[in-house]
A and B are shown apart, each in its own frame.
Chain A
Amino acid sequence: MRKSSSILDRRAFLAGTAAIGGAAVFAPLLPAWAQSGTRGLKPDMPTLSGEDIALRIGHSPFTVGGRTGQAVTINGTVPAPLIRLREGQNVRIAVTNTLEEDTSIHWHGVLLPFQMDGVPGVSFPGIRPGETFVYEFPIRHAGTFWYHSHSGLQEQLGHYGPLIFDPAGADPVAYDREHVLVLSDWSFMNPHTMLRKLKAMGDYFNRQQLTVAGLFRTGDPEQQMPLSERLMWDRMRMDPTDIADITGTTYTYLINGHGPQENWTGLFRPGERVRLRVINASAMTVFNVRIPGLPITIVQADGNNVRPVKVDEFQISVAETYDAIVEPADDRAYTIVAESVDRSGMGRGTLAPRMGMTAAVPPLRPRPTLGMDDMGMAGMGHGSMGGMDHGSMSGMDHGAMAAMGQSGGMTGMGMGDMNMRDESLAPPDMKVGVGVDMIAMNPQDSVGKPGLGLANVGHKVLVYTDLVALEPNPDPRPPSRSLEIHLTGNMERFMWSFDGRQFSEVVEPIRFARNERVRVTLVNDTMMQHPIHLHGHFFEVVNGHPGHHPMKHTVNVLPGSKITFDLTADNPGDWAFHCHLLFHMHAGMFNVVTVRPLDGGPA
């Protein structure tokens, strides 16, 4: 909340201007596609397209909830302009930096030569103040993507926008109208202050912790949690309510730059097929998205078409995109609910036939708490030992196992004897040091699991196993080797890493031979979820649909679980590989992937 006085003064001035100017000041700060009351994307809309595009990165005021702050913007708006290109074309994008610090643009999910990927220190040196960098690359594929800063914490300050590549041929997805939904999280707190608060006090933003009062209130998770279980969490020095590091206590959740009060509204005509291009451009927020009264048909994930699958709700992790078709038949409004995963707030918008129509906004649902699975002990202590992977049990304390089997549940007694940080379960190349507070004992593949808190919501929720690639996977070869990467952390110290090493420790890159096919398993040794993003490639999430595994650029690994993907390392160069929770990346959960040899040009 505290800022230097000069910023305060400026904000006070801007707030005054906003109060006088009202909507007149507000409206021009949003691109046409993001303005409330939009009829959707139209060919005549002032969208950035063609072969030459110019972008300027600078500071602009941003107003939400009646308050104005300073944002880092592209061409003056939050979100940034929509860039719409066509598969098969070339594009030159000149990015001018008017900030007083370095900046960059990363084209998220786009297959391009590595030097155009936009990660300072990996793909290029960054864009210095006053300089212009020209990105130039061919558009090789179609789909919904986005772009954002890869410098410092600028992404938290508004430096993100949508990117659409239209297919060269016919689009397999038919629709009458389309809207872009850029979901994001905004705070008036300086992001560097946010990180410092997290380092100083890991639960700083969590105002939904277990309390004594909660024991006596109906509807609180405390009521359902036996005292022995609460004591167990205390004993482990872990917090079952630690679902999101940064919460609605400081965030305003945005849909297309609009807070819940501003109620972004997209128009439709009853009976139309409306395509929603949903992009989670948040710094830290995983959203549960639903439109009460309207089934949602997912048709694309991370820019790649999937067989249509009808759901009532989907969880979209940070940096993922989903394209959906909705068919509102009635002459009524529908609320778009984008609830933060910890239920501390929501983004809210409306689909309506006419401006000004609204529908009921459902209240936030009770917050979820972490459980056995999230500790990497899925299936343990519940008598379902038969289904367990005994291979990974080798390092376990068998005495403790026996005790747990008898206790038959997640009780303090049974758990107290468990070793939550058994080094023998770590691969030999993992560093089990200060930065690792847990090693998942029995991590289960989470492709079939709904996201945190969505197991019992009473309607169909998208899971990764629902995703089936529309086209056959391009590389039918089986992987020739496997690689296990552990997602590691220390919640108390807010340290995050791969295989126990923060990037700042000077780590070896993850090396692939060009065109090599590798099966990569991400094992989450933490009690938080991590959306892991690999630049410059799509990988196939191994989800039980061989040959048609969904191709993704970002995969969400649930707490204490694992996810496997197959990768054809066909894009030579150096690529960033990281958790897309901005502050996790900034706390060390980052590495470089190298693909060699370089010669022969891009694959």
Chain B
Amino acid sequence: MKALLIAVLAAAVGTPAYAQHAGHTMPMQAPAADPHAGHDMNAKPAPAPQPDPHAGHDTGTATPASPPAAADPHAGHDMGTMQPAAPAGPTDPHAGHGMGTMQPAAPASPADPHGGHGMGPEAGPAPVLPEAPPPPAAFSGPRHAADMLFDPSDMARAREDLRVEQGGATNYRVMVDQLEARIHDGRDGYLWDAQGWYGGDIDKLWIKTEGEGSFGEKTEEAEVQALWSRAITPWFDFQAGIRYDFRPDPERGHLVLGLQGLVPYEFEVDAAAFVSDEGDVSARFEAEYDLLITQRLILQPRAEVNLAAQEVRELGIGSGINDIELGLRLRYEFAREFAPYVGVEWERKLGETADFARDEGEGVDDLFFVTGVRIWF
């Protein structure tokens, strides 16, 4: 049973990655699912094999026509050999092709015989020259030309500044996605859900916090996560770190492994697995979507599912799916950074967790009206 649940959890965590591939046939991220697995990847180094332009040249006539692909004299050539291994050698592949006639001796002539050489977009395939490495002369001289004329240490400083500026900047964002009052007959409460990150394009420090409670009572749930976040695909970050629950009692620490990002159809998802300091394994999966009614009026459906691999009686958690939360929030962006909202949230405890709740005399589902504000900076 436990093994089964762990498998379920793994699947939950893996869901975004799977969904990503499903919609996109992304071979690079799922080598096993590579649709091109059967393709001869050896063809890859050849820069987009195209009809050989020299076929036309060889004829001696200036008519490129459409070179019959089957008659391509270079078809059997390994393009690698076209790249001068010894760059000192004859690098001009046209050497034997009578290039003299190629030179536009009378460039302005309307009868330019090269007009048909595919120089223009409509003129057929562009001539393919070998993609060769630069000749040896290109590697001569100093590494940095300006070092010859200016203080090399000044140049080194300027170079480092330039390097960092062009792509290496550090940024941050603090997003308070939900800061809301929850209106419920006789038991009004509050909830917060915020995330902040600091870092570069690839590696970030990511802080998450969420919690909730009833007004006038002790906070029921409060947790903080500190994660290292690393971009692993164009749309997904892998995250690892720790989570600490200040509430409920007893306090608990967890290790966190997760994936956060954007799946096809623009759903933002956050899936994480937790191992507590008691060895309990649990997982959480969240997804939300922004539906633009107008440029500023945005409807956000949201779902969250919590799972556990084993029961934790003292916290009222059973094994299996613990609960599911569905929310719908309508916000108005006065500014991108400031958007008040109203909405509804429905929560339902399931399975053993629901049984525990019933034992305690609590309800197993709840419907709230919520109102709050989304703020970021």
Contacts and interface: CB of A to CB of B under 8 A. Distances in A.
Contacts of A530: none
A502 B293 contact: no
Given A424-B44, A465-B120, A481-B91, A115 B149 contact: yes
A484 B117 contact: no
Interface string A470-497: 0011001111111110000010110111
Contacts of A135: none
B145 A574 contact: yes
Max chain A C-beta neighbours (<10 A), residue from B27, B91, B335:
B27
Number of chain A interface residues as a range: 35 or more
B166 A514 contact: no
Contact of B232 (A124, A418, A434): A434
Contact of A513 (B108, B138, B263, B291): B138
A121 B159 contact: yes
B327 interface: no
A123 interface: yes
B234 A436 contact: yes
A353 B266 CA distance: 54
Nearest to A510: B134
Nearest to B164: A504
Contact of A516 (B108, B138, B171, B266): B138
Interface stretch (A61-69, A256-264, A331-339, A543-551): A543-551
Interface string B234-256: 11000000000000000000000
A586 interface: yes
A420 interface: yes
A513 B134 contact: yes
Interface stretch (A91-99, A230-238, A266-274): A230-238
Nearest to A572: B145
Contacts of B221: none
A125 B158 CA distance: 5
B50 A389 contact: yes
B129 A481 contact: yes
A439 B356 CA distance: 53
Contacts of B131: 427, 481-484
Contact of B39 (A424, A477, A512, A572): A424
Contacts of A88: none
A445 interface: yes
Contacts of B377: 2
Of B115, B164, B231, which is in contact with the most chain A CB atoms at under 10 Å from its CB? Answer: B231
A434 B161 contact: no
Contacts of B36: 395, 397, 422, 424
Interface string B13-31: 0000000000111111000
Interface string B34-57: 011001010111011111000000
A519 B173 CA distance: 43
Contact of A497 (B41, B167, B292): B167
Interface in B194-230: 201-202
A288 interface: no
B120 A516 contact: no
B181 to A, nearest CB: 26
B130 A482 contact: yes
Interface stretch (B97-105, B301-309, B317-325, B346-354): B97-105
A505 interface: yes
A168 to B, nearest CB: 23
Given A125-B150, A492-B262, A502 B137 contact: no
A123 B144 CA distance: 9
B184 interface: no
Contacts of B165: 152, 504, 586
B81 to A, nearest CB: 14
Nearest to B161: A121
Given A210-B292, A211-B295, A434-B233, A123 B146 contact: yes
Interface string A431-464: 0101111000000111111000000000000000
A503 B117 contact: no
Contacts of B335: 1
B123 to A, nearest CB: 6
Contacts of A212: 291-294
Interface of A: 1-2, 102, 114-115, 119-126, 152, 195-197, 199-201, 204, 207-213, 231, 234-237, 389, 391-392, 394-395, 397, 399-400, 416-425, 427-428, 432, 434-437, 444-449, 465, 472-473, 476-484, 490, 492-493, 495-497, 502-506, 511-514, 516, 519, 521, 542-548, 564, 572-574, 578, 585-590, 594-599
The 4 closest A-B pairs by CB, nearest first: A547-B107, A544-B120, A588-B167, A121-B162
11 contacts: A121-B162, A124-B158, A237-B262, A400-B25, A421-B28, A435-B234, A437-B234, A478-B99, A543-B121, A546-B107, A546-B119
Given A237-B266, A434-B231, A595-B138, 4 more contacts: A114-B146, A445-B121, A546-B117, A598-B145
